[in-house]
A and B are shown apart, each in its own frame.
Chain A
Amino acid sequence: MSPEPGEPTADRATEALRRRVSATARSVVAQTGPLLGLLVLGAAVSILTDRFLSFSNLANVGQQIAVISIVALGATYVIIAGGIDLSVGSVVALSSVVFALAFSNAGLAWPIAVLAALATGIVVGVVNGLFVTLGRLPAFIATLATLSMARGLALVMSEGRPISGFPDDFRTITSGRIVGDVPFSIGLTIVLFLLGGLALRHTVFGRAVYAVGGSEEVARLSGIRIVRLKVAIYALAGFCAAVGGLVLTSRLNSAQPVAGQGLELDVIAAVVIGGASLSGGQGTAFGTLLGALIIGVLRNGLNLLNVSSFWQQVAVGAVIAAAVMTDTLRRRRR
C-alpha cells in the first residue's frame, strides 16, 4: 500500500494551491465588512429616495470623494505602518496655495505650478517623517505640529485670502470626462488606488510597511531601515495630500487657505472604516476606498433626504461607530 511516488508532490501542490486560494478568499472576506456596509447603506438610501441611483448622482458622489479618497490612500500607508498623520488637511490647503501663487503671482506655467505643489506636499511629509524618526516625537504630536505650521504658512502666503481663476486645462482635471461620461477625477482616483494598492501588496516597500506596523522591532531586526522607510511613508502621505489639494483647487477654481479643515478626521475615518487598525499592521487600499465611499454616500444621502444638519452629525458618528464595530466583532469571531 505504499503511495505512488508522484502522490506527495501532487498533494503538496494541491495544498499550496488551496492555501493560495484561501489566502485570496481571506483577503476578499476581509473586505466584506465595509463592502456589505456600503451595499446596505446604498440600498437604504435608494429605497428612501429615487434620486440616489442615477448616473449623474453617482458621478457626483465619485467626484465628491475624490479628494478624501486620494488623501486617505496616503494615510492608509501611514496607519498600516502604525503611525498617524493629522497634518493632511493643512497640506491640502498649503499645496493648493503654493500652486495658486506659483501660477498667479510667479506666472509659471500651470504644470510647473503643479510640480511645486507636489514638492510642497513631499517636503511637509519628509518633515513629518524626520520629526517622528530622528526627532523621536510621537506621530500624533509631530503631525499636530505640522498641521499648525502648514495651516499658518498657507494663511501667511495667501494673506488669508482665496486665490481664484485658473486655466481651463487645469480645470479639466475635475471638469473633464473620460469614456462613458465618467468624470476625469474619478478615473484619476481609480488609477491612483490601483497603483497604491498594488504597491502595498506586491512590492518590497509595501511589505515593509506592514512589517513595521506589525512590529517595529522585528522589522528592524529583519534588516528594514526604519528611518528611511518612515520618512518615505510620510512623504507619500504628503504627496497624496498635495494631489488632493490640486484636485480640490481644480474643482473649486480657487485656492482656499482655510480648505481641508478637519479633513484629517474624515480621512482617518475612511481608513478605519475600510478595515485598517490604528495599532498598525492591518489595512488595504481597497478597503480605504470603500470607507471613503461609505462616507460619501452617507453625506450625499443625508443631503438628498434633507436631513437636519444637527441630526446629520449624529448619523455620521453612528455610521462610523457601527462600521468599525461590526468589523472588529467579525474579526473576533473568526
Chain B
Amino acid sequence: MLRTRTLGIAITALALVIAACQGAAETAAPTAAAGGETTIGFAISSFDNDFFVTLSDGAEAAADDAGVELIVSDAGGDAATQASQVEDFITQEVDVIMLNPVDSDAIVASVEAANAAGIPVITVDRGASGGEVVSHIASDNVAGGTQAGEFLFEQIGGEGTVLELEGVAGTSAARDRGAGFQEALDAATGIERLAKQTANFARDEGLTVAQNLLQANPDADGLFAHNDDMALGAVEAAAAAGRDDLVIVGFDAAPDALEAIKDGTMAGTIAQQPDLMGQLAVETAVKVANGEEVEASIPVEITLVTADNVDDFMN
C-alpha cells in the first residue's frame, strides 16, 4: 500500500517535472499572430542530424522571402514530444502545419487531430501512414537513380557492362532508386546490366555481394549501388579483386563516400538538397494557406556529386 503510494508520488513528481520542461519550451515559441499574417508551424523530427538543420534553414529563408511567420519545433527524435508540439500548433491556430515526422506511424494521431481542427497538413521528407495530407515533399529518388545511371554510363565511356547493388527489398528508396536507374538503362544504348543483387543497404553485404558479382562478371566496367554504404563495400571488393578501375557510383553523399570520391575510389554519389526541400515546403504551405491547389506529391531535385564539386559538400 505504502509502496503504491510512493510510486504514485514519484510518477506525479516526474510528470510535473516533464510538464515544467515542456512549459518552458512552449513559452519560447511565439504565439500565432492574431492579424491577417500567415503562420506556418514546422515540426521537425530532430536537429541532431545536420540534414534537418539545413532543412529548417531553407524553410526559414523561404518564409522570410514570402513574408510569412514560421514557427519551428524540434522533437529531439521523440515521437511523444512531437505529438505535443503539434498539439501546440493546433492550439495556436496556425494556418498550415508542416510535419517532418519522427515516426510515420506515430504521427497519424497528430495528423488526424489537425484534420479535425481544419488545419491543412504537409509532410516533409518522411510521410505519414494515415490521416489527410495535402502534399508530401521529398527527394526525387527516381530522378536520382536516373542521374546516377547517366553519370555512370558516361564515366565508362558510353558503352559497356554494369552491375547494380539494390537496397533492402521492398523499401521505397530501393524501389525508386532502382526504377530511376532502370530508366537510364532503358534510354541508353550499348550498356548492359549483367547482374542486379541486393546487399540490404549494408557495407559488409555490399562487400560480399560485390565480390561475388565480380567473380561472376570479372569484366564489368561499372557499378551502381542504391546507397553509399554498399558502394563503399564495393570499393573494398574491387580493390581486393584488383579491379581498381571499376567505376562505382553511390547514393546519399555520406561523409565516407565524399572522402572516397576525393580519393578517386568512388566516381560519384547523389546528394539530397535539404535547403531546397525546406524552401519548396514553405512555398507549398503558402499556396495552401491562400487556398490554391497543390500537387499531392512534390519531388525535390537531387544533385550529382563528383570529383569536380565534392569540396562544396565537405565541411
Contact = CB atoms under 8 A, between A and B. Distances in A.
Interface of A: 49, 51, 54, 56-57, 60, 64, 67, 161-162, 164, 175, 248, 251-254, 256, 258-259, 261, 299-300, 302-306, 308-310, 312-313
Given A252-B236, A254-B232, A259 B212 contact: no
Contact of A254 (B196, B203, B213, B216): B203
B198 A259 contact: no
A241 B215 CA distance: 28
A304 B256 contact: no
A3 B209 CA distance: 70
Contact of B196 (A261, A305, A306): A306
B240 interface: yes
B170 to A, nearest CB: 8
Nearest to A258: B202
Nearest to B232: A254
A256 B203 contact: yes
B256 A51 contact: no
B195 A252 contact: no
A162 B169 contact: no
A312 B229 CA distance: 21
B208 A299 contact: yes
Nearest to B212: A303
Interface string B192-231: 0011111000111001110111011000000000000100
A221 B125 CA distance: 62
A57 B216 CA distance: 9
Interface in B11-30: none
Given A251-B207, A306-B197, 20 more contacts: A51-B216, A56-B215, A57-B215, A60-B211, A60-B212, A60-B215, A64-B212, A164-B256, A252-B203, A252-B233, A252-B236, A256-B203, A256-B229, A259-B202, A303-B195, A303-B197, A303-B209, A306-B216, A308-B196, A309-B166
A252 B231 CA distance: 12
A306 B195 contact: yes
A323 B240 CA distance: 32
Contacts of A261: 202
Give the interface size class of chain B: 20 to 34
Nearest to A307: B197
Contacts of A164: 256, 259
Contacts, number: 74
Interface of B: 166, 169, 194-198, 202-204, 207-209, 211-213, 215-216, 229, 232-233, 236, 240-241, 255-256, 259
A300 B241 CA distance: 16
B203 A303 contact: no
Nearest to B214: A60
A307 to B, nearest CB: 8
B213 to A, nearest CB: 6
A258 B227 CA distance: 14
A313 B169 contact: yes
A259 B166 contact: no
Nearest to B215: A57
Contacts of B211: 60, 64
Given A175-B240, A251-B207, A252-B233, A310 B169 contact: yes
Q: Which of A56, A162, A309, A313 has the most CB of B within 10 A?
A: A309
A188 B207 CA distance: 20
B204 A252 contact: yes
A162 B257 CA distance: 11
Contacts of A306: 194-197, 216
B255 A309 contact: no
Contacts of A302: 197
A67 B204 CA distance: 10
B233 A51 contact: no
B216 A259 contact: no
Contacts of B236: 251-253
Nearest to B206: A252
Contacts of B198: 309, 312
A45 to B, nearest CB: 11
B169 A248 contact: no
B102 to A, nearest CB: 15
Contact of B204 (A256, A299, A303, A310): A256
A286 B53 CA distance: 53
A253 B237 CA distance: 12
Contacts of A162: 203, 229, 256
